[in-house]
Amino acid sequence: MPGTSPHQVTQLLLDWSNGSQAALDELIPLVDRELHRLAHHYMRQERAGHTLQTTALVNEVYLKLVDQKHVHWKNRAHFFALSAQLMRRILVDHARKRNYAKRGGGANKITFDDVMVVSPSPGKDLVALNDALERLAAIDERKSRVVELRFFGGLSVEETAEVLGVSPLTVKRDWSMAKAWLYNSLNNEA
């Protein structure tokens, strides 16, 4: 499948941030396509018995979705933030829809860790995480943004620091606290 032009995505992101619903409608299938391409890649790898070694692939997806080279450095942070919001929105919607479709289908209570890839109803996790992230935002806005940028936006610690205008150390500290809080929140509460 031919790649999505990052340039076009950048424009759509901008349109979306300016309130264009149409831009979102165009972005969703682009992200979906990358998502399914990635999923398909995993399936093929597993069938072939390969271990899942995909960091480069995931990075490529993010690169496709934000035109890092061509965005002016001042706008860079803005685009990173937008793309993280976009991914969050689309992926969570995606998961929500699947939960809806699977409702009553014996969705199991899952533990939220990396093993979740084998849980039968993993879509639920992203929804639950999203809810928890909203609760975290009410307590500590910046920490929830750190999670949004890193987990949904795929940004490195340094990039996250750039977007938020804080030091990388702060991002690391925020991250460890937020991660523990979210993990606890998902596994021990509610």
Partner 1 sequence: MKPERWQELEKLFQDALAQPPEKRAQIVQNANEDLRPHLQALLAAHEQAGTFIESPAIDVAARNIAKLKERSIIGKVIGHYRLLEQLGAGGMGEVYLAQDVSLGRQVALKFLPSDFTSDLERLRRFEQEARAASSLNHPNILTIYEIGESDSSRYIASEFIEGVTLRERIAGKPMSVDEAVDIAMQVTDALISAHSKGIVHRDIKPENIMISGGGQHGQKEGHVKVVDFGIAKLTETQTSGTDLPTRPLLSTSEGITIGTAPYMSPEQAEGLKVDARTDIWSLSVVLYEMLSGHVPFEGATRSRLIVSILEKEPRALNDLNENIPAALAWIVRKGLRKDREDRYQTAREFQNDLKEFRKRSEVADARTDDKHGVTTTRVTDTSSRRSRRFMLMVGAAVIAVTAIGLGVKYILPKFIAHTAATPFSKFNLTRLTTHGKASSAVISPDGKYVVHVIGTLEQKSLWLRHIATGSDKEILPSNGSDISNLSFSPDGNHIYFVRATSADNVLETIPVLGGPSHVIIHDVDSSASFSPDSQRFVFVRGDPRNKSASLIMANAEGIGEEKLITHKIDDFFFGTAGNPAWSPDGERVAVALRGSDSYTNVVVIDLKSHTEKRLTSQQWNAIHSICWLPDGTGVLITAIDAERKNTQIFYSAYPGGNVERVTNDLNNYEDLSITSDGSGAVTVRSEGESDVWISSIDDLTNAKQITSNKFDGVGGIAWTPDGKLVHSSNESGRRDLWLMKVDGTDNHQLTANAGLNLVACVSADGKYVIFNSNRTANGSMNLWRTNIDGSNPTQLTFGGHDVAPQCTSDNQIIYTSDAQGHGSIWKIPAEGGKAARLTDYYSSAVAVSPTDGRIAITFLDDKATPVRRRTGVISPNGGFPATVFDFPALFGTLGPGFYGQIISWTSDGKSLTYVDTKDGVSNIWSQPVAGGPPKQLTHFNSDLIFYYAWSRDGKKLALARGRKTSDVVLIKDLQGKTGN
Residues in the site for partner 1, rule: CB under 8 A? 1-5, 8, 31, 34-36, 38-44, 46-48, 52, 54, 58, 61-62, 87-88, 91, 94-95, 98, 112-114, 116-118, 120, 122-123, 125-126, 129, 139-140, 147, 150-154, 173, 176-177, 179-184, 187-188
**From CA 93, how far away is CA 101, in angstroms rounded?**
12
64 vs 162 by CB, closer to partner 1:
64
The residue among 74 and 103 lying less far from partner 1, judged by its C-beta, is: 103
Name residues whose C-beta falls within 8 Å of residue 32's C-beta, 6 or more positions apart in sequence.
90, 94
Nearer to partner 1, 71 or 91 (CB): 91
Q: Give CA angle at 122 (155, 114), nearest 5°.
A: 55
CB atoms within 10 A of CB 125: 19
Shortest separation between residue 78's beta carbon and partner 1, angstroms: 20
Which CA distances in Å does 106 have to 126, 127, 132?
18, 17, 23
Residue 79 or 123: which CB sits closer to partner 1? Answer: 123
Least distance from partner 1 to the Cβ atom of residue 155, Å: 9
**Shortest distance, position 120 Cβ to partner 1, whole Å:** 7
CA distances from 87 to 52, 61, 81, 134, 152 (A): 22, 11, 10, 15, 6
Q: How far is the CB of 18 from partner 1 (least distance, A)?
A: 20
